[in-house]
Structure 1
């Protein structure tokens, strides 16, 4: 995980690419969270 300012970047251990999430100002909308989970291979 990398942190740049208020953004956190997560990398899947076996997939290419990163997921960037703004944190912690607001709750993440359900649709955005679902998209993050799909990109991470958790769904």
Structure 2
């Protein structure tokens, strides 16, 4: 999913399966720019 805001584009990864691999989850968290500690 993508949304254009002013001069930038926000991208959200939405996996289409029940389980998410650790690497995919870490990538989603990293791209969200939220601290990893929120998810521990």
TM-score, structure 2 normalization? 0.49
Q: Name the structure with the higher helix share.
A: 2
Higher share of residues assigned strand: 1
